[in-house]
Structure 1
Amino acid sequence: MTNKFALALHGGAGPRAGKDYSVTEAHMEELTREGEALLKSGETALDVVEIMVANLESSGLYVAGKGSAPNVMGKVELDAAIMEGHTQAAGSVSAIQDVISPIGVAKAVLQNSPCVMITAQGANQFADEHGFEKIGDPENYYVLPIGVSQEDTEQTDMMHGTVGAVALDIHGNLAAATSTGGVFGKPAGRVGDTPIIGAGTWADQDIAISCTGTGEYFVRAGGALTAANGYKLAGDTLDEALWRMLDEVERLGGNGGLIAVSKSGEIAMAFNSDGMKRAAVSNSTALVSTTFAPCR
């Protein structure tokens, strides 16, 4: 056990220049302080990233959980994934409906199922069997998150938002978690990169990554695992590894961002959109919470 820890959060790479995100920045700062305290107390990276993402989901401030918009059929379908680095155990759900915390269900898949991903009706059945709280009145539960208008939710130009967390705990273990309501105006059954292990979410013994952006492009660019391999196998620095994949996303026509933590406690956050809501802290770096500050 060491005193080394690191934590990074993102609230999506969909912010628009000129809008005020001070509320989300304050929320992410407060949540990061809570996560810092948990890590210092010895909580595992796996538990901390789940707690962080569950709070981001329930806040209604981001395009995940309570802040998610309906698809073209009027249904809210949610995706989430979580992965533990040293065991490489993973769990995810896709197109799940009417649950308070999709990331909680994803963690239950990791811990209580031989599967890695469970989808749609099967995911809802799994959540019911494991006692997860459901949304009583979907029509009155969901809200528009900060910076999103009703017109935005009706667009089909791949506007997006996702939340995520990556952490290194004092036991030397890494974990990553990601959750999303998907892109606005999405077709029924659409699944992006978030719940696909290796695309939107990844953790191993060396690195933990959570992505946000136009998921189809992240999948086509190789996603989080491409960044991880750049860091582990190609000799990239942590920043270079993130930008290697993100530049390919941009070449293909997409945008977004990603956060990463390494086993040494280094943190990297990259985005090629207008901004990315993000916060981070470690045993060696002061807490930062920002949206538009350049990162390259």
Structure 2
Amino acid sequence: MTTRPDYALALHGGAGPKPGRDYSEVERHLSDLICEGEAMLKAGHSAVDTVEHMVRELEVSGLYVAGRGSAQNAAGFVETDAAIMDGAAMKAGSIAAVRNLVNPISGARAVMDKTPHIMIAGEGADRFCAERGLETVKDPANWYRLPVGVEEVETKTDELAHGTVGAVAMDKSGRLAAATSTGGLFGKRAGRVGDTPIIGAGTWADSGVAVSCTGLGEYFMLANAAYDIAAQMKYAKCPLGAAASNTLNAIAQYGGDGGLIAIDAEGTIVAPYNSHGMKCASVKAGEPAKVSVFSPN
């Protein structure tokens, strides 16, 4: 029987990077960030605090399709979604279709910690985040930027660019947590919400596994992807790797692609995808950090 590592952490910056483009800046950022997250877990920070911090940093970097890297919808303004789940406490929070929030993941955390609700959306979420004093974008025209690997022409085509960021962690106490944030699809219809803020579809954590998904959200919602992995593990006693593969296979059958990161209660980390690649990084106690874009992590 293997010994559970003291901690484990995985990050993703979205599935579907395009071969032939330069993602070295992303790789450097993920390398620095995974080391920062490892230091947090070594110092005794909780899994839920760690995943929130990791996603905040992914959001503000502007390198990914989330936070600063989000793009305008078809109506000409930015809407973002985010979710966080504390598996040990079985608590979750999410926000959807929120406008011009610097750190959407902290809006989701506030919903989890400060309200009896799980999801708040649209204008109600905007008002809630303002009441909580969360930082908003003061100058949208100069704040948002194209993420690494996305070209301007792609934001104006039918094959809309998309992306997500996420983190999953297991802390020293064995607690699991997951967090996910997205700017959604470039040029999406106003009010469109994908899988990211839907607890069980794009984000899930319980005592057995933590999952954050990335890809075209409609297909992940059809599969209820994040919870599907947990259910396979709980009811069919399926190992994490096999459960994740089964879920991605189902998504492919529906016509979708993407990837996910997950950690189980034994500290096993998986980061499978069925797209061209996935920007991801991982680390666990006693092992070196791994960063990859086009090869399995």
TM above 0.5, yes or no, is yes
C-alpha contact (below 8 Å) 2:5/2:286 kept by paired residues: no
Corresponding residue SS for 2:15: coil
Q: Which residue of 1 aligns with 2:250?
A: 248
Alignment of 1:101-120 (within 5 A): 101-120=103-122
Q: Which residue of 2 aligns with 1:169?
A: 171
Corresponding residue SS for 1:38: helix
C-alpha contact (below 8 Å) 1:159/1:214 kept by paired residues: no
- TM-score, with structure 1 as normaliser: 0.97
> Aligned match of 2:226 in 224, 227, 230?
224
Alignment of 1:170-189 (within 5 A): 170-189=172-191
Q: Which portions of structure 1, spanning 4 or more consecutive aligned residues, are displaced by more than 6 angstroms?
A: none
Q: Percent identity?
A: 52
Q: Which residue of 2 aligns with 1:259?
A: 261
Using the TM superposition, name which of 150-159 and 280-289 deviates more: 150-159
Q: Which residue of 2 aligns with 1:85?
A: 87
Alignment of 1:55-70 (within 5 A): 55-70=57-72
1: CA distance, partners of 2:45 / 2:231: 28
> Aligned match of 2:12 in 10, 15, 21?
10
Corresponding residue SS for 2:84: strand
Query: In the TM superposition, what is the alpha-carbon distance from 1:294 to its structure 2 partner?
Result: 3.7
1:61-80 per-residue CA deviation (whole Å, 9 max, x = no partner) reads 00000000110001100000
Note if 1:40 corresponds to 2:42.
Answer: yes
**Number of aligned residue pairs:** 294
> Aligned match of 1:195 in 197, 212, 222?
197
C-alpha contact (below 8 Å) 1:166/1:176 kept by paired residues: yes
1:91-135 per-residue CA deviation (whole Å, 9 max, x = no partner) reads 000000111100001000000011100001011100000000111
Query: In the TM superposition, what is the alpha-carbon distance from 1:184 to its structure 2 partner?
Result: 1.7
Q: Which residue of 2 aligns with 1:100?
A: 102
Query: In the TM superposition, what is the alpha-carbon distance from 1:149 to its structure 2 partner?
Result: 1.0
2: CA distance, partners of 1:284 / 1:244: 29
> Aligned match of 2:208 in 206, 209, 212?
206
Structure 1 regions of 5+ residues with no counterpart? none
Corresponding residue SS for 2:218: helix
1: CA distance, partners of 2:156 / 2:241: 35
User: What RMSD over aligned residues (CA atoms) do the two structures have, in Å?
Assistant: 1.1
Structure 2 regions of 5+ residues with no counterpart? none
1: CA distance, partners of 2:272 / 2:236: 19
